[in-house]
Structure 1
């Protein structure tokens, strides 16, 4: 019988983070869900059941990260999809907007991994989150550069932290709750544009991204890689 494991997911109350938590719980694993909203965390806890533990966490706050991981040992994996940032063109971005992707997405994941290290099993798997703009930018240069930096971070950490495995998930546009909460008059033109830019002619689903994240967590021969779950966007 397979031994149950514990996985940490920061940004696990919605989208691919919550979807991954559901998959892990369904197979009997325990999940430590982190997020900023206590209300959404409690809702996730109710949906996931007794195998889920929820804790508030702010990935931009190292003290908050320390509290989140406190008391956990032998974590089998860490997934870090939670980030909130702003984007703008190079000419138009003010200081706050230009720096927000690195602060909220790059440095937040960097310090999340650093803080998690004493709590990880020796054969743990880490999956960072970037985005396909790393390879094929469409404006927003700070955001594109941030994603490329995260992919470089995954490669460097894979070398330094071995035998812990470190990979990166780089999705394209995903039909997630984030987009569903936006007006269709804004959402649908974006989706149509994405369909024209990739090879499949489709918008990715949350399940697509969850499949990719779970693969990177489970496959012991994946290390230092970036998986572009983008419908072939980076190939056009």
Structure 2
């Protein structure tokens, strides 16, 4: 993996799951990492866990004005948006308020970051989406739409922001705190089922996605792409 020594990397949603793993990955590669999240407690915990040259800021990425104000104060080499919107349910059953909140949390947060972040020449922006964009389930219309919208946004931004590179990483089933609200038995069944179904033979880890993000930031010839990290889920029966 290419060194990122001396590079400045912003990780939005960098206090848990994929975002935290990404912050750790860049810190290990020598980067100066800034993690942002809405919760001061989670920001402080993430900074302590990442260690090294990591700092944190409390920032609500749903607030466009707050994002613009924060981004006006600093430049970065790379920015990553890994904010999540966890609303699950059928379109005819999921409360509209929950659906809109999920869209605000995942899509609009990434959009606000993309329009305001200041990136140095040779820099990149990477958005974390999800495999439901191409392989929806029976109760995933909202999540599928959000992820698909983000991937469309990436392709357009790669043209609008060029020569800044813009890419997406689309994870499959991952062992992350996103699933902590499910009973332990149900989580175990889900991960076991994934291991049996996927060609890779296991569920994913947040670090698998962080590896892909680090690749995209270091590869100067990749832009407008969505890299799928799903253990073969898109091609599995």
Distance 2:91 2:195 in 1: 25
Contact 1:198/1:234, CA 8 A, preserved across alignment: no
Contact 2:124/2:217, CA 8 A, preserved across alignment: yes
How many positions carry a matched residue from both structures?
A: 233
In structure 1, the partner of 2:30 is: 28
- Superposition deviation, residue 26 in structure 1: 2.1
Distance 2:233 2:52 in 1: 39
Which runs of structure 1 show a deviation greater than 6 angstroms over 4 or more consecutive aligned residues? Answer: none
1:105 aligns with 2:103: no
Structure with more helix by fraction: 1
Aligned pairs for 1:141-160 within 5 A: 141-160=141-160
- Where does structure 2 lack aligned partners over 5 or more consecutive residues? none
In structure 1, the partner of 2:116 is: 115
Aligned pairs for 1:58-137 within 5 A: 58-73=60-75, 75-116=76-117, 119-137=118-136
> How much is the aligned-residue C-alpha RMSD, in angstroms?
1.9
- Superposition deviation, residue 82 in structure 1: 1.6
- SS of 1:127's equivalent in the other structure is strand
In structure 2, the partner of 1:195 is: 195
Distance 2:185 2:63 in 1: 36
- Superposition deviation, residue 2 in structure 1: 7.3
Deviations 1:201-224 (A, max 9, x none): 310012211111111111111110
Contact 1:34/1:68, CA 8 A, preserved across alignment: no
Once the two structures are overlaid, the 10-residue window that deviates more, 4-13 or 44-53, is 44-53
Contact 1:88/1:98, CA 8 A, preserved across alignment: no
In structure 2, the partner of 1:175 is: 175
In structure 2, the partner of 1:37 is: 39
- Superposition deviation, residue 181 in structure 1: 6.8
- Superposition deviation, residue 197 in structure 1: 4.0
Distance 2:88 2:67 in 1: 25
1:220 aligns with 2:220: yes
In structure 2, the partner of 1:18 is: 20
Distance 1:2 1:109 in 2: 23
- Superposition deviation, residue 122 in structure 1: 2.3
- Superposition deviation, residue 108 in structure 1: 1.5
- SS of 2:84's equivalent in the other structure is coil
Distance 1:63 1:2 in 2: 30
Distance 1:231 1:223 in 2: 22
Residue 111 and residue 196 in structure 1: after superposition, are their counterparts in 2 closer, same or farther (change >3 A)? same
Distance 1:26 1:129 in 2: 20
Deviations 1:44-76 (A, max 9, x none): 222333511210111111122124324212x11
- Where does structure 1 lack aligned partners over 5 or more consecutive residues? none
Residue 201 and residue 35 in structure 1: after superposition, are their counterparts in 2 closer, same or farther (change >3 A)? same
